[in-house]
Amino acid sequence: VSEFPSPAAIQAWARLLRASQRSLEIVEERLKARNLPPLVWYDVLHELAQSGEEGLRPYELESRMLLKQYHLSRLLARMDRAGAVERVRHARDRRGQVVRITSRGRELRRRMWAVYGPAIVRLVQAPLVEGEPEALARLLRKLIDGTPVARDTRRARR
């Protein structure tokens, strides 16, 4: 196997980037058109809604969503300001906090899904025929699994 990719691999790569870039743009555009916040808010609200009353620690959200600590810190600050989440000091580990979805956050998530859901239908479901969503998911899974998690580069920078 060469160090450089085959034409087929390059084509699959180019289309992976193009398909996700275009799809994301369309979803973000539709959310914005209804004065709704960016997609990343949906993911946070979704995780928090799943976690129920206990909420999640920021570092748990980080690992589930593959976000950087500082990124999430600022994102949660914005969501807090908007009343979509609430943050309380953790009772035992006082370095940390617990993040919970608010009722306003649940409502926001509902309104976002009303835009997001139909967009997924149009972008993924409609262009494919029976069995193809499963086939696509299976191939993408190989890429995800075949790709070790990005190594922590902090050590290298120091």
Partner DNA sequence: CAAGATTGAACGTTCAATCTTG
Min separation Cβ 77 and DNA, Å: 6
The secondary structure of 88-151, three-state, reads EECCCCCCCEEEEECHHHHHHHHHHHHHHHHHHHHHHHCCCCCCHHHHHHHHHHHHHHCCCCCC
Closest to a copy of itself by CB, 20 or 96: 20
Backbone angles phi, psi at 67, to 5 degrees: -105, 155
Q: How many residues bind a copy of itself (CB under 8 A)?
A: 57
The correct pick among 52, 83, 96, 133 for binding a copy of itself (CB under 8 A) is: 133
The correct pick among 53, 144, 154, 158 for binding a copy of itself (CB under 8 A) is: 144
Candidate segments 1-9, 87-95, 107-115, 129-137, binder of DNA by CB under 7 A: 87-95
Q: What is the DSSP letter of 28?
A: H
**Is residue 63 a contact residue for a copy of itself (CB under 8 A)?**
no
